[in-house]
Amino acid sequence: MRYISTRGQAEPRDFNGVLLAGLAEDGGLFMPEVWPERSAAEWRSLRGLPYAELAARVMHPFMGSAIDLDTLRDLCGLAYAGFDHPATVPLVQLDDGLWVQELFHGPTLAFKDMALQLLGHLFQHVLEQRDETLTIVGATSGDTGSAAIEACRDRARIKIAILHPEGRTSEVQRRQMTTVTAANVFNIAVDGTFDDCQDMVKSLFADQRFRTEMRLSAVNSINWARIAAQIPYYVASALALGAPDREVAFAVPTGNFGNVLAAWAAKRMGLPISRLIIGSNHNDILTRFLAANDMTARGVDPSMSPSMDIQVSSNFERLLFELMGRDAVATAGLMRDFRATGRMPVPDAAWSKATELFQGLALSDAETSAAIRQIHDTTGYLTDPHTAIGIEAARAARLPHSTPIIAMATAHPAKFPDAVEQATGIRPSLPPRLAHLMSGTEHFTRAPNDLAAVETLLRAFVQRNDAWGTAA
C-alpha cells in the first residue's frame, strides 16, 4: 500500500512513512493510492469480533507490508485494553431507528482516544524499529491535545508539543492537557483561534529546514493514520445493526472533518452507508457548503461546543481530492484560492456529488442547549453539546424508516459540565480517576499569534528535552 499527496508534488510513501511524516512536503494530505475494498461476505466475517480484533482487521489493508497483522493485533490490544466499557464503543438506543455510539470511554473521555491511543503505540513501534526519535506538534480545539498527550506522555522516543487557543476550550479540556507533568510534554496557549493554531502547525511543516531540524511529525487528523484508526468504529456499529445486509446512516458532529471522513472511507471500502449527516454549531462553513455550495470562511466565534469552533476544515481537502476525480493540480488550485481569498469555488459538479451522500445541520448555542435538555427529558440520556448537535442532525434527516441512524457520541458530558448543567440542571461528575484534574497544578506557556515566537518556543523545548534525555 502506497500513499500519494492530494497536491501531487510529494514522493509516495508506505504507511510507516506517512505515519512519521504527517503532512506531505507539498502542503497536501496523504491518501491511499488504491482504496482497499471488501465484499459483503468479508464484512459479514467481521461480525461479533472483539473491538481490538475488528480494528486490526479493518486497518491492516491500509498498512500493506509495513506492519504485519499479528503485530497490529498486539498494538490494538494494548491501545484499547484500558477503556472503561467492555464493548469499547457501545451502542445505546434512543428511539425507534436512532442510536448513539459512545466513543468516550477512553482515558480522556473523547472520541480522539479511539485513534490516538493506537497512534501512540504505532509511533513507538516504528521508531524502535528505526532507532529514531521525533517531535510531534499538534493543534487542538479541545480534545485532540489531551488525547495525544495521554498517548505520548513519558515515551522516550517522542517529544510532544500541543498548541491550543487560550480561553477557547472548556476548563476540563484545558486541564487534561496542562496538568500533565511528563518532561516530554509541552503545552502552548496561543492568543488566537484554533484555525490560527492549525495554520501555524501547517507552516511549521512547510518550513523544510525547521521540520528536519526538529524531526517533526503530526498528530492532528492531517495524519492519515488518525483517519485509518477511526474507520473501525463505524464498521463495528454498522455490522451490529445489520450491515452489509442493510444500509445504515451516520450523524457526526464535526469541525475539522476528520471524523466524518473516516465514515466516508468506510463507505469507500464497500460498507453500505446511505447518508452522512454533519452537525455544526454557528461556525457553520460545512453546513453552508452542503446547502448552497458556499465554502466561505468567516470569523470564528466561541461557542458552547468548542471542538467545532473551526472555519478551515483540514480534512475537507481529502474529500475534495476525491470529488475532483483525484486531480491533484485542480485540488491544489482550489486550496490556494481558499487560502488567498477565504472562499473556495468548488465546481458545481463536485458539489452535487457531495450532496448525494452528505447533508448538514447547524445549531446555535441556544438551540444546542435546548437539544441537550430535550434529549434528556425524553430519553433520560445526558449528552455533551457536540453529541446533542449530532443527535438533532440525525432527527432532522428524514431518512426511510428502515435505515437506522447512528449518532456519534464524541465526548463524555463531564467534559462540558457548565453547558450540561445550564441545560438540564444536572452537573455531570468526572470519573473518579480524573477527579484530580480540577485541583492539579497547570503547566503551559503563553504565546502570541506569531509563527516566529512559536518556533522559538518549540526549538527551546526540543533542545531542553534532548539535553535532559542525554543527561538521563
User: Is 274 within 8 Å of 248 (Cβ atoms)?
Assistant: yes
Q: Of 19, 17, 13, whose CA–CA distance to 33 is shortest?
A: 13
User: Is 248 within 8 Å of 406 (Cβ atoms)?
Assistant: yes
Give the cell for residue 106.
477512553
Instruction: Tell me the C-alpha distance between 411 and 102, whole Å.
Output: 8
**Pairing state between β 30-32 and 3-5:** antiparallel
Name the one residue in this structure whose C-alpha cell is 442547549.
Answer: 369
E strand segments, 184-272: 185-190, 216-218, 248-253
User: Is 157 within 8 Å of 128 (Cβ atoms)?
Assistant: yes
Q: Of 44, 106, 382, 39, whose CA–CA distance to 242 is shortest?
A: 44
Residue 112 known to be catalytic = yes
Instruction: Tell me the C-alpha distance between 186 and 149, whole Å.
Output: 9
Give the cell for residue 320.
475534495
Number of helices and strands in the chain (H, E) = 19, 13
Instruction: Tell me the C-alpha distance between 13 and 394, whole Å.
Output: 38
DSSP symbols for 314-379: TTHHHHHHHHTTT-HHHHHHHHHHHHHHSB----HHHHHHHHTTEEEEE--HHHHHHHHHHHHHHH
Q: Which of 112, 159, 202, 415 is catalytic?
A: 112
In order of 3, 65, 199, 419, 423, the CA distances from 9 in angstroms are 12, 24, 20, 45, 49
Give the cell for residue 321.
481530492
Name the one residue in this structure whose C-alpha cell is 511524516.
Answer: 21
Instruction: Tell me the C-alpha distance between 129 and 7, whole Å.
Output: 30
Q: Of 224, 135, 193, whose CA–CA distance to 464 is shortest?
A: 135
Instruction: Tell me the C-alpha distance between 226 and 284, whole Å.
Output: 23
Instruction: Tell me the C-alpha distance between 57 and 261, whole Å.
Output: 19
User: Is 197 within 8 Å of 173 (Cβ atoms)?
Assistant: no
Q: Which residues pair with 165 in a beta bridge?
A: 190
Catalytic residues: 112
